[in-house]
Amino acid sequence: MKTSTSIRFFLPLFALALCAMEGFGQSHSATPAGAVLDAKTLTYPGEKHLANVRQLTFGGDNAEAYWSFSGNSLVFQANYKEWGTLCDQIFLYEDVRQVEKTPKMLSTGLGRTTCSYFLPGDQEIVYASTHSGGHACPEEPSREGGRYVWPIYETFDIYVADLNGELQRQLTHEPGYDAEATVSPKGDKIVFTSDRSGDLELYTMNIDGSNVVQVTDELGYDGGAFFSPDGEWLVWRASRPKTEAEIAHYQGLLAEHLVEPTNMELYVARADGSDKRQVTHLGNANWAPFFTPDGQRILFCSNHASKRGFPFNLFLINLDGTGLEQVTFDTAFDSFPMFSPDGKKLVFASNRNNGGTRETNLFVADWVN
């Protein structure tokens, strides 16, 4: 995910805590009643931006697929017993045009991993792993009281591996959570989330892990950041507890190394943290943002229009918060969109075409402006 968590939350049985939150009154198209997936095109009615959709995976939980700089390969995380996983691990499709039935695992197979991304040259990737804290998959938090929370594992650190899966170096060494790393298209910086300050903030660092700079400093969870195509801006998801009760709740969960991701909005800022502003004011969970190829809009996942907590669909919005447009019309879950470097293709994760199971698969589509 560009999350540090399993994607199971976003399947049709996820937290009922989302039910009470509704989107505010911007115009948008609702998911068509009784929408039926077209088996030939793998699209729902109204998905005019998607063409030649192709399914890449066929089983398990697959998400957070990110393109190589060349646009030929994808690295992603998956949890699929048939591929030998016990929890999320990192996999590679070397050639997206003809994917292997069983992709190559690039992570060690130890601990839990998340958030992989290619480094310049496409010969190495960065990803976060808990393996230094133990070889077993860390325990997932319970959902007592019906709440849904993401674990902020203290043993997550960011590593570099080659395309044979051999660890090359460790980039973060601070105690606590370091994860959610993505790389600037310029190839000079990495942005990531850390709780080293006592709160979940964004940081940037050089490709070699040096020159760590804190980008955000406002109370609340800041995470899932991506650079703009020119590397000058960041977009990310954030929670902003305001009332005493909200602050106490957020800080109480954080003390337990947990975060509740049910109320998040999107923000943008320059890569140094200046000129920060809130983009969405939609309510519910708005996350997994990615800049469009021209850098003028954001494609993101949201359930703001959902009265039951789902479906989650993809939406476009201008950087000033205007022009909200629904892109996908799934009845369950579409998220983790990422444009190829040339802007011609989109990869995303979806519950579509899963035969009514809980499986989340990867899809590639031609992007139609």
Q: What is the pLDDT of residue 148?
A: 84
Spatial separation of the C-alpha atoms in residues 178 and 153, rounded to whole Å = 9
State residue 24's pLDDT score.
25
The predicted pLDDT at position 21 comes to 26
Q: Which domains does the chain have, with CATH numbers?
A: 7-367 (2.120.10.30)
Task: Give the global pTM.
Answer: 0.92
How far, in Å, are 56, 91, 166 from residue 134 at the CA level?
A: 32, 21, 18
Digitized pLDDT (tens) for each residue of the chain, 369 residues in all: 444 443 444 443 333 222 222 222 233 455 666 789 999 999 999 999 999 999 999 999 999 999 999 999 999 999 999 999 999 999 999 999 999 889 999 999 999 999 999 999 999 999 999 999 999 999 988 766 667 899 999 999 999 999 999 999 999 999 999 999 999 999 999 999 999 999 999 999 999 999 999 999 999 999 999 999 999 999 999 999 999 999 999 999 999 999 999 999 999 999 999 999 999 999 999 999 999 999 999 999 999 998 878 899 999 999 999 999 999 999 999 999 999 999 999 999 999 999 999 999 999 999 999
Cα separation, 128 vs 4, whole angstroms? 9
Contact 301, 335 (CB under 8 A): yes
pLDDT tens digits for 50-69?
Answer: 999 999 999 999 999 999 99
